[in-house]
Amino acid sequence: MTAMAKTPDDPHRKQRGKNIALLIALLAFVVIVYLVSIVKMGGS
Amino acid sequence: MSDTSLQAFRTADAGLGEEARVGDFLALLKPRVMSLVVFTGFAGLVVAPGSLHPLLGAVAVLCIAVGAGAAGCINMWYDRDIDAVMSRTCRRPIPAGRVAPEEALAFGVTLSLFSVMLMGLAVNWTAAALLALANGFYVFVYTAWLKRRTPQNIVIGGAAGAFPPMIGWAAVTGTVEIGSILLFLIIFMWTPPHFWSLALYREGDYAKAGVPMLPVVAGKAATRRQILIYALLLYPLSLLPAVIGPAGPLYGAVAGIMGAGFVMLALRILRERSDRAAKQTFAYSILYLFVLFAVLIAERLAPGIGAGIGSSVLG
């Protein structure tokens, strides 16, 4: 059985791209909340 | 509505299009509009009296950007029928069938709520309330109420795009002050000649979509006169920040020169009556706002740069 070539238009590839973007957005949100908490608790 | 655009609209509404890419969701946020919004919001933040921790400032700018993008996304959801008809907008993700309307709506609402909540929790609730007001105004007052009903749509609706410097200012001070109201008024008065210049050479598009833009309803001649009237009203208003704050003499000089250029182009539109003149005025209007707010920022970040002009003008 030959592996299917994944083109840029492959739906799975597009879905994977969206999943990664969502992961990055969530991680960024966590980092923002953490840093804002540090700043606020520092009283500056 | 043409067969092609009708097909695109049906495809999009049925969610039958191809799988969306990440880029399609970014396109829903109207990144080009967002850049001007971020820039003016940042300017408000920089010129406001007082100080804000750089991280909180960055979060405030992020919230303004995401909030504006979210409002643009909801606008694209609501206007997907007319977007499908207009050549300028028919390739947007919803009319092209790449993003389902309900997905776009959920995306926009989520980001809008996220940006307001984060602004309130991280920065202050005055800035968050103004951000919510700007988003609500753009979606409910401009998009849903005025856009399809009156040629004054962008005059009143333009207020939504004028909020960012006021939000940036409030992020620092927690208040609404005369300085931030002035920055609001400059963008408010700039919006009609900016959009009407575009509408002059896109009139056919708006007419086809049934959007009562001024050139469609009142004609091109009346629109050209209105562009000149608003450019003339904008001119003295744009100088006020140099007179009563928050800007200095360099801003005053630049606003004077750029404003004169705007009025000259508005006069040229009236005289030449060509699409070329309208296109150039539209392009110039974007440059005009960028330059004015860039000078505001520069004056605050490098206070010495306007000193020479100040002394030569005053002394």
* Residues of chain A above pLDDT 70, percent: 75
Please name which of A43, A33, A16 lies closest in space to residue B62, comparing C-alpha atoms. Answer: A33
Chain B nearest-CA distance from A3, in A, is: 22
pLDDT of B311 reads: 47
Chain B nearest-CA distance from A5, in A, is: 18
pLDDT of B88 reads: 86
Write the DSSP symbol of residue B50: S
Q: Scanning every residue of chain A, which has its alpha carbon at the shortest distance from the alpha carbon of B118?
A: A33
Nearest beta carbon to residue A17 from set B21, B118, B121: B21
pLDDT of A7 reads: 67
Please name which of B237, B280, B241 lies closest in space to residue B259, comparing C-alpha atoms. Answer: B237
Chain B residues near residue A35 by CB distance under 8 angstroms: 55
Q: What is the ipTM of this complex?
A: 0.80
The tokens describing B276, both together, are 């070329």
The tokens describing B183, both together, are 């920055």
Burial class of residue B238, CB neighbours in 10 A (0-12, 13-18, 19+): buried
> Which amino acid is located at B256 in the chain?
G
Chain A residues near residue B21 by CB distance under 8 angstroms: 14, 17-18
Reported confidence tier of residue A8, pLDDT bands at 50, 70, 90: low
Chain A nearest-CA distance from B29, in A, is: 15
Please name which of B307, B201, B185, B183 lies closest in space to residue B250, comparing C-alpha atoms. Answer: B307
Nearest beta carbon to residue B122 from set A14, A18, A36: A36
CB contact under 8 A, A32 and B122: yes
pTM: 0.88
Greatest alpha-carbon pair distance for chain A in Å reads: 63
pLDDT tens, per residue, chain B with 315 residues: 444 444 444 444 544 457 789 999 999 999 988 888 999 999 999 999 999 999 999 999 999 999 999 999 999 999 999 999 998 899 999 999 999 999 999 999 999 999 999 999 999 999 999 999 999 999 999 999 999 999 999 999 889 999 999 999 999 999 999 999 999 999 999 999 999 999 999 888 889 888 999 999 999 999 999 999 999 999 999 999 999 988 999 999 999 999 999 999 999 999 998 899 999 999 999 999 999 999 999 999 988 776 655 444 433
Please name which of B228, B193, B199 lies closest in space to residue B216, comparing C-alpha atoms. Answer: B199
Chain B residues near residue A7 by CB distance under 8 angstroms: none
The tokens describing A37, both together, are 């908490």
CA distance linking residue B191 with residue B138, whole number of Å? 13
Write the DSSP symbol of residue B142: I
CA distance linking residue B82 with residue B90, whole number of Å? 8
SS3 B237: helix
